[in-house]
Structures are given as C-alpha cells and as structure tokens.
Amino acid sequence: MDLQIVNDKKTGGYVGFEIFKRALDNGAKVLGLATGSTPISIYDELGASDLDFSQLTSVNLDEYVGLDANHPQSYHYFMQQHLFNQKPFAQSFVPDGSNLDAKSATSDYDQIIAAHPIDLQLLGLGQNGHIGFNEPGTDPESTTHKVALTESTIAANARFFDNVNDVPRYAYSMGIGSILKSKQILIAAYGEAKAAAVAAMIQGPITPDVPASYLQTHPNVTVILDEAAASQLD
Ligand code: F6R
C-alpha cells in the first residue's frame, strides 16, 4: 500500500484529485465512487477542475434500501450535490434503493459492474473497518448484496438524519470481491476516530473482522491519511 500522510482533509483533497487526474490521463473510463464525509474534499477539487467526465462512467459503492434517488439522504442525491451537478458523467450508476426486491436489485448491479469494470475505486473507511457497507464478517468474495447495517454504522450515520430512527436499517452494497476487482483503489481516512481501523487495515491480520484488511491483498492501493488517522500505525 502506498501511504500518503497529509496535513488535513483539504490537502487530502488535492492529493486525491491528482490520483484521479493521473488515472484519467492513463485512460481510466470507469470511476468507482463513494459517499460520506471523507470524499467530499476530493469531489470539491474534481468539481472545480477542468477534468472532463462527460465520456466516463461512474459506479457508486452503495445505497440505502428504501430511499429513492430524490430523497435528500439517499446516496444518489449526495452524488448529485457533491459531484454530478458540477461534473456530469456519460452514465452514472448507484444501486437502486427504491427496488425492494433485493435479488433483482443486487443482480442488476452486478451486471452493471461486470459491464463496466472499475479502473479507479474511491473508498472511505468505517470506524469498524467497513468498506462500502461491507460490515465485519462479510465474505471477502462477496458481490453486491443486501446488508443489515450494524448499530455502530447506524449511529455514525445518524448525524445526517433528523433522528436516529430515520436511518435506514438496510443497504445495498458492492461486495468486497467486487471492490478488489478494481484496477486501482484509493482510500482516505481522517481523524482520531479512524486511527484503530487504519492500523488494523494496514498492519493487522487479513481477517473478515476488518473488511478493509483485504485491501492488503490488492496490488495497487493508495491510502491518504491525516496525522490523527495515522496515529496508531507502528
Ligand atoms: C459510503 C461508504 C462508507 C463510508 C464510510 C466512511 O459510500 O461506502 O463505507 O465510506 O462509512 O464514512 P465517512 O467518510 O462519512 O467517515
């Protein structure tokens, strides 16, 4: 793993932007995208740049089950606000949270990923080591699946909702196996609360208890961290 330690999230945004730019220069056509607070500084840089995504495809990691694309807390909506309005792609895919039939929603999404192999996948890191919504215990060969969110993830995401009871209990997530098929992976983490998960991801054993530890098996991973997130590394 290539570690980039930065002063702050804003600098992480520049570093992440440069990695996207290089990937595009090298012919990347499909970008795997994430939501949450971590990627925002990268999206700010991408959105303000002169990069052209109009011929590219984006594929997002996950979506809450039960929220349609227009719901303000849906990941569809997040992506519109933070990137797609500024930088439209030729086509953008996010799992269909409004499709309550998990079998068709997940198999449709696997077909999309198979038809659009991901050149560069951006990830954030959960405090419990999750990537996408692949919580501890997820099969490392998993494809897109319906996930029951853990209490810690529900609590962490409650800040985006009026009330913790409004946080959806299920999500559709790209699997760990699908994430690992991406040609290149960029993961960022900021802040003390991520420090233990960062250390487990990079220096811990490869184990289903820490889904992000499977990134150690991928040949092309860049990790952007601030000092606080890197503070438990040896
Ligand atoms: C979001 C996602 C999640 C987040 C993770 C970190 O699409 O897949 O794995 O990346 O929960 O979230 P933040 O960045 O809000 O700390």
Mean pLDDT score of the chain, rounded to an integer?
96
Please tell me the distance between residue 193's alpha carbon and the centre of ligand 1 in angstroms.
Answer: 13
Residue 216, H or E segment:
none
Return the CATH number of 2-226, one of 3.30.390.50, 3.40.50.1360, 3.40.50.10310, 3.40.50.720: 3.40.50.1360
Instruction: Indicate which residues carry an active-site annotation.
Output: 62, 128, 130, 135
Q: Which residues contact 136 (CB under 8 A, 6 or more apart)?
A: 128, 129, 130, 150, 208, 209, 210, 211
- On whether the pTM is more than 0.90, the answer is yes
- Burial of 83 per CB tally in 10 Å (0-12, 13-18, 19+): buried
**Ligand 1 atom nearest 38 alpha carbon:** 14
Supply the pLDDT for residue 160: 85
Whether 19 is in the pocket of ligand 1, judged by its Cβ within 6 Å, is no
What single-letter amino acid sits at 5?
I
Using one digit for the tens of pLDDT, what is the confidence trace for 98-152?
999 999 999 999 999 999 999 999 999 999 999 999 999 999 999 999 999 888 8
Pocket test for ligand 1, best of 125, 172, 225 (most atoms within 8 A of CB): 125
Better-predicted residue by pLDDT, 151 or 214: 214
Supply the pLDDT for residue 73: 92
Supply the pLDDT for residue 150: 85
Please tell me the distance between residue 173's alpha carbon and the centre of ligand 1 in angstroms.
Answer: 12
**Ligand 1 atom nearest 131 alpha carbon:** 9
Instruction: State CA 118 to chain mean position distance.
Output: 13
Whether 104 is in the pocket of ligand 1, judged by its Cβ within 6 Å, is no
Domain layout of the chain by residue ranges? 2-226
Pocket test for ligand 1, best of 9, 33, 35 (most atoms within 8 A of CB): 35
Tell me how crowded residue 22 is: count the other CB atoms within 10 A of its CB.
12
Q: How far apart, in whole angstroms, are the C-alpha atoms of residue 55 and residue 52?
A: 7
Using alpha carbons, select from 19, 81, 92, 108 the residue that is nearest to residue 55.
92
Nearest CA to ligand 1 atom 8: 132
Please tell me the distance between residue 24's alpha carbon and the centre of ligand 1 in angstroms.
Answer: 24
Using alpha carbons, select from 205, 211, 199 the residue that is nearest to residue 147.
211
Whether 173 is in the pocket of ligand 1, judged by its Cβ within 6 Å, is no
Contact status, residue 43 vs residue 82, Cβ threshold 8 Å: yes
ipTM, interface predicted TM-score of the complex: 0.98
If pLDDT is split at 50, 70 and 90, which confidence band does 153 have? confident
Tell me how crowded residue 72 is: count the other CB atoms within 10 A of its CB.
10
Using one digit for the tens of pLDDT, what is the confidence trace for 16-66?
999 999 999 999 999 999 999 999 999 999 999 999 999 999 999 999 999
- Does residue 208 surpass a pLDDT of 90? yes
Instruction: Dig out the tokens for 218 from the structure.
Output: 């991928």
What single-letter amino acid sits at 190?
Y
Per-residue pLDDT, averaged over 78-102, amounts to: 98
